[in-house]
Structure 1
Amino acid sequence: MTDWIDIAELNDVPRRGARVVKTAHGCVAVFRTAEDEVFALDNACPHKKGPLSEGIVHGKAVTCPLHNWAISLETGSVMGVDEGQVSTYPARVQDGRILLDGTFLRARAVA
């Protein structure tokens, strides 16, 4: 059974933008696309730990503000290079609210 955590209203995250959510299990960057899709990833780029939440969201990707590495919001993989991965977290929108999978977050915190 999934334990969804209500973290914010969808409108709290701007379209093509992001917000950092501090949870008891660490910080998660939550991204909103122009189509109102929501994705959650670790906030650190695998290259030089740039803050992905401060990057530019385009399509279903975010570009790191430090060195322009593009990260897939769907998979967390670095686009265009063979190395690097960002952890992703299950997220969804329900009744205008953004929810994160709490069971998944807790399992990641223990690992």
Structure 2
Amino acid sequence: MSDWIDIAPLEAIQPRGARLIKTAHGCVAVFRTAEDEVYALDNACPHKQGPLAEGIVHGKAVTCPLHNWVISLETGMVQGADEGQVSTYPARVEDGRILLDVAFIRSRSAA
């Protein structure tokens, strides 16, 4: 069973923007697309640990601010590379609030 935590109103993140959310289980980057979809990923790019929450959101991807690696918000896969992936976390919008699945975050941090 999922345990969803309310982290912020959707309006707290600009369209095509991101926020870093610090939890007891690590930092999660939460992204909002131009279509108001939300995605959550680990904040570190697999290349040089660039802060993805500071990257540029375009479509359903984010470009790392350090070396321009493009990462899918849906899958966490690095686009155009044979290797590299970022962990993704279940996120949703309900009644104008962004929710994260805390149980899923706990399970990933224990791995």
Structure 1: give runs of 5+ residues left out of the alignment: none
TM-score by length of 1: 0.98
- Establish whether residue 24 from structure 1 lines up as the match of residue 24 from structure 2: yes
Which amino acid counterpart does residue 26 of structure 2 have in structure 1? G
| CA drift at 1:81 | 0.9
How far apart are residue 73 of structure 1 and its match?
0.1
Q: CA RMSD in A?
A: 0.6
User: Which residue does the alignment assign to 2:102?
Assistant: 102
The alpha carbon displacement at 1:105 in A equals 1.1
The corresponding residue for 2:39 is 39
Using the TM superposition, give the Cα deviation of residue 49 of structure 1 relative to its aligned residue in structure 2, in angstroms: 0.6
2:12 maps to which residue? 12
Deviation per CA, 1:2-57: give whole Å up to 9, x if none. 11010000000111010000111110000000000000000010001111111100
**For 1:104, what is the secondary structure of its paired residue?**
helix
- Identity %, equivalent residues: 79
Letter in 2 for 1:41: L
Deviation at 1:108, TM superposition (A): 1.4
CA separation in 2, counterparts of 1:63 and 1:79?
10
SS of residue matched to 2:67? coil
Letter in 2 for 1:109: S
4+ residue runs over 6 A deviation: none
2-side partners of 1:23 and 1:49: how far apart?
Answer: 18
Aligned partners of 1:109 and 1:19: how far apart in 2? 19
Structure 1 SS opposite 2:40: strand
Alignment length (residue pairs): 111
Shift of 1:109: 2.0
Taking structure 2 as the reference length, what is the TM-score of the superposition? 0.98
